[in-house]
């Protein structure tokens, strides 16, 4: 194999950052907006670096990848947690929160069931990749990466998992959008109480959504506070023991749990106002930059393992959907909450508002808040799912 074109760590970091910037810039061009609507920039943040490695421009392994994995993940998670408006989520209403939690439960139990059905046709350590997928389907990319690091899934294994996440996840999103045309029939079938939607819409007016341009002081506080929290969490995580056989709670997991918990606690303090200048956006940049490094370490040939993974993902999601429909019938939940409760888990903050707005244009913020609620639970619930998958793999 020829030596990759770029190997010097700082140059490699700059190259990955440039790829990320180029992808997001292209997504703003009018002629490409429809294309990126079907294949969001975050997907290309993974696949483009993978292609670069496949053709010999970037290396499969480099010291900068380890540094990015060790520090950028807790950095991003801290900012995403500290800016969460927990009281606003709790004001969503009983039915909204129940459907979001049921969606999470469907993912947690669906993964192990689907794995048991197809384990003989999957690679020996496929449970690790499916554990990472559970993170993606309960909160999004950040949780996927956190669980991947927790269970020690290889970067090459993430190839087919990204394919499943994209094809099955976005395929289900398309189905949900189509089902919006029958929501009145569904609501009649389950005898839905639509007044809860009206009350939720009224409560949205209470939310503080003020934004302002970021200033130097804001950025200095955001970076200083987050780097300090990250380093403290990483160092504490290194001193704590590994848990599980196979390992589920690793030093990286401890660091993630520490920053997530501290971030949530601080979200009840005035520090949450850092969201006004866009602290969470800084967190997402760090997260997507980390995703480029994971893509650069992946093996493109792993995509050809996707068919069995795809079937596993379809069964997994079917269990999730079935549970949502059963509970919707029992508690008379409108289809709107079925759709947003599902997409809040499977699609996360990027997709849930889109689906919510298709059903009820004024209710896009509900989808966003439900996604954020799922994101908070995601890291904890996905660790539980990973634990069950690991236990099944060891049987």
Can you tell me the mean pLDDT for 341-363? Answer: 74
Can you tell me the mean pLDDT for 295-324? Answer: 83
pLDDT at 395 over 90: no
Q: pLDDT at position 209, please?
A: 55
pLDDT at 9 over 70: yes
Q: Which of 165, 155, 122, 164 is nearest to 300 (CA)?
A: 155
- Residue 293 token pair: 């490094």
Q: pLDDT at position 207, please?
A: 47
Q: pLDDT at position 124, please?
A: 82
Q: pLDDT at position 302, please?
A: 57
Q: pLDDT at position 325, please?
A: 95
Rounded CA gap, 298 and 51, in Å? 9
Can you tell me the mean pLDDT for 20-47? Answer: 86
Q: Which of 234, 253, 231 is nearest to 242 (CA)?
A: 253
Contact status, residue 4 vs residue 53, Cβ threshold 8 Å: yes
Rounded CA gap, 253 and 148, in Å? 10
Proportion of the chain above pLDDT 70, given as a percent = 87
Q: pLDDT at position 125, please?
A: 85
- Position 1 in a domain: no
- Position 74 in a domain: yes
Q: pLDDT at position 198, please?
A: 66
Most confident residue range from 99-113, 147-161, 171-185, 243-257 = 99-113
Can you tell me the mean pLDDT for 50-59? Answer: 88
Assign 28 to helix, strand or coil.
coil
pLDDT at 248 over 60: no
Q: pLDDT at position 344, please?
A: 84
Q: Which residue has the higher pLDDT, 243 or 176?
A: 176
Q: Which residue has the higher pLDDT, 90 or 382?
A: 382
- pTM > 0.75: no
Neighbours of 51 (CB within 10 A): 16
Any idea which residue has 């109480």 for tokens?
193
Packed helices 335-346 and 352-359: angle between N→C axes, nearest 10 degrees: 170
Indicate the number of domains in the chain.
1
- Position 18 in a domain: yes
Angle at 50 between CA 45 and CA 81, to 5 degrees: 35
Assign 10 a pLDDT band (cuts: 50, 70, 90): very high
Average pLDDT score, the chain = 83
Q: pLDDT at position 199, please?
A: 64
Task: Using alpha carbons, list the distances in angstroms from residue 332 to 93, 184, 195, 319, 363.
Answer: 14, 13, 11, 20, 19
- Write out the residue range of the structural domain in which residue 64 sits: 9-393
Q: pLDDT at position 220, please?
A: 95
Most confident residue range from 127-141, 165-179, 206-220 = 127-141
- Position 3 in a domain: no
pLDDT at 78 over 60: yes
- Position 2 in a domain: no
Buried b (16+ CB within 10 A) or exposed e, 320-335: bbebbbebbeebebbb
pLDDT at 328 over 70: yes
Proportion of the chain above pLDDT 90, given as a percent = 29
Rounded CA gap, 341 and 371, in Å? 8
Task: Using alpha carbons, list the distances in angstroms from residue 276 to 222, 272, 328, 374, 382.
Answer: 12, 8, 36, 22, 29
Assign 243 to helix, strand or coil.
strand
Q: Which residue has the higher pLDDT, 382 or 39?
A: 382
Q: What is the pLDDT of residues 196-241, one digit of tens each?
A: 666 655 655 554 456 678 889 999 999 999 999 999 999 998 898 8
Q: What is the pLDDT of residues 108-128, one digit of tens each?
A: 999 999 999 998 888 888 899
- Position 4 in a domain: no
Element (H, E) at 150: helix 141-151
């Amino acid at each position: 194999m020829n030596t990759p074109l770029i190997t010097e760590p700082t140059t490699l970091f700059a190259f990955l950052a440039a790829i990320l910037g180029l992808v997001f810039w292209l997504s703003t061009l009018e002629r490409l907006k429809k294309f990126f609507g079907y294949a969001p920039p975050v997907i290309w943040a993974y696949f483009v670096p993978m292609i670069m490695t496949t053709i010999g421009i970037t290396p499969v392994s480099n010291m900068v990848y380890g540094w990015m994995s060790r520090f950028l993940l807790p950095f991003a998670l801290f900012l995403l947690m500290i800016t969460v408006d927990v009281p606003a989520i709790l004001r969503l209403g009983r039915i909204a929160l129940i459907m979001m939690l049921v969606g999470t439960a469907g993912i947690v139990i669906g993964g192990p069931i689907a794995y048991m059905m197809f384990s003989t046709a999957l690679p020996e350590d496929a449970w690790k990749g499916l554990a990472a997928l559970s993170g993606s389907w309960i909160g999004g990319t950040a949780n996927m990466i956190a669980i991947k690091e927790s269970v020690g899934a290889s970067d090459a294994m993430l190839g087919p998992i990204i394919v499943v996440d994209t094809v099955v996840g976005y395929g289900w999103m398309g189905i949900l959008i189509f089902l919006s045309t029958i929501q009145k029939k569904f609501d009649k079938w389950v005898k839905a109480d639509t007044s809860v939607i009206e009350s939720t819409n009224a409560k949205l007016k209470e939310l503080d959504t003020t934004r302002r341009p970021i200033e130097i002081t804001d950025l200095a506080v955001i970076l200083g506070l987050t780097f300090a929290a990250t380093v403290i969490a990483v160092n504490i995580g290194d001193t704590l023991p590994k848990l599980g056989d196979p390992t589920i709670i690793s030093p990286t997991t401890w660091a993630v749990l520490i920053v997530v918990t501290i971030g949530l606690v601080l979200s009840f303090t005035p520090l949450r106002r850092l969201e006004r200048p866009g602290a969470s956006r800084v967190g997402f940049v760090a997260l997507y930059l980390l995703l480029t490094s994971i893509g650069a370490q992946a093996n493109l040939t792993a995509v050809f393992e996707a068919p069995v993974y795809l079937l596993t993902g379809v069964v997994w999601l079917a269990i999730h959907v079935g549970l949502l429909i059963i509970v919707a019938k029992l508690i008379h939940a409108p289809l709107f909450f079925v759709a947003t409760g599902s997409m809040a888990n499977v699609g996360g903050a990027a997709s849930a508002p889109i689906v919510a707005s298709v059903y009820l244009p004024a209710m896009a913020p509900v989808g966003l808040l439900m996604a954020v609620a799922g994101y908070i639970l995601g890291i904890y619930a996905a660790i539980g799912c990973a634990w069950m998958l690991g236990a099944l793999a060891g049987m």
